[in-house]
Amino acid sequence: ISVVIPCFNHGEYILDAIASVEASGEVNYELIVINDGSTDVYTLGVLDKLRDRGYHVVDLENQGLANARNHGIAIASGCYILPLDSDNKIRPNYMRKGIAILDESPEIGIVYGDVEFFGETTGIWSLPDFDLYRLTIGNYIDACAVFRKQVWQDCGGYDPDMPDKWGYEDWDFWLSAAEKRWQFWHIPEVMFDYRTRSDSMVQTCKQPINQKRLVHYICSKHIDLYTPRLADVIADKEFVAFERMVELDSLRLELQRTKEEVERSRDREQKTEENLQAIADEVAHLKAMIEAMATSKFWQL
């Protein structure tokens, strides 16, 4: 198996990614690091140290994630491939289990597992077993999967022509593999750790205008998959959109109620302060009267 790690200015993370591969025990693997035109001085220093220690580091001009993965896989000697983003980590038994499944079942082309998030958010994402219709609705399989190099060859690699190289290369790749009749296998346990970052490429993809262009590109490219499922896809998308609208309306109503309650609380607070001030004024008046009485000649007699 060949582990391909593209790296663009992720020098602070890549050593953890490599360490996770090296913790995999007795697995026959090669490790290829693709420097995708990094410009960060720290990252370049880390990559130089990796070269000095004998790691296979390949330098490219920055042409995007798809091109970096394609180059790494093209020169890989393994019959199985595991792409690993430089800010993520794999679990020690991922490669071993993936290899075993692919060795035993020639019809299976891709093996994927569950995910544990770390970084800015945490939690476990338990993925469903493979469902082509669900995959047409949206991607739920990360690029960090074990697959045959033959799958990559059949699909023509990752698409380097995604709009503005924003991402979704993995979603496109899985749809292409499904079109080539390759089967997928889900390992129902955490197989890798995904670092969540607010500045990641995934967040850029989620911006509405970018999302629209990417989904349009995906659907147009895989029209033969979408055409027989078009009514269901539109209905489900509409259902999700309507469900979100209802949820949003409910949240707006709750917000309005909260604002009204806050206003009522402020009114009660103001009235309470006014009452307290009135009591304080009355106490001060009584105190003044008592002091006046205490100093009067009549009171002294």
Nearest-angstrom CA–CA distance, 153 and 17: 26
Please count the residues of the chain: 301
Nearest-angstrom CA–CA distance, 71 and 78: 14
Instruction: Kindly report, residue by residue over 85-94, the tens digit of the pLDDT.
Output: 999 999 999 9
Query: How would you class 116 by CB atoms within 10 Å of its CB: exposed for 0-12, middle for 13-18, buried for 19 or more?
Result: middle
Neighbouring-strand partners of residue 147: 81, 110
Q: CB neighbours (10 Å) of residue 144?
A: 22
What percent of the chain is modeled with pLDDT above 90?
Answer: 62
The dihedral sign for the CA sequence 270, 273, 275, 281? negative
Instruction: Kindly report, residue by residue over 115-165, the tens digit of the pLDDT.
Output: 999 999 999 999 999 999 999 999 999 999 999 999 999 999 999 988 876
Residue indicated by tokens 């699909």: 155
Q: CB neighbours (10 Å) of residue 114?
A: 16
- What is the residue-level pLDDT of the chain in tens, covering all 301 positions? 999 999 999 999 999 999 999 999 889 999 999 999 999 999 999 999 999 999 999 999 999 999 999 999 999 999 999 999 999 999 999 999 999 999 999 999 999 999 999 999 999 999 999 999 999 999 999 999 999 999 999 999 999 988 876 678 999 999 999 999 999 999 999 999 999 977 655 555 556 677 888 888 999 999 999 998 888 877 877 777 777 777 777 888 888 888 888 888 888 888 888 888 888 888 888 888 777 776 665 545 5
Contacts of 83 (CB under 8 A, 6+ apart): 3, 4, 5, 6, 69, 72, 73, 143, 144, 145
Going along 37-182, which residue ranges are E strands?
56-60, 80-83, 89-90, 108-119, 123-125, 146-148
pTM: 0.79
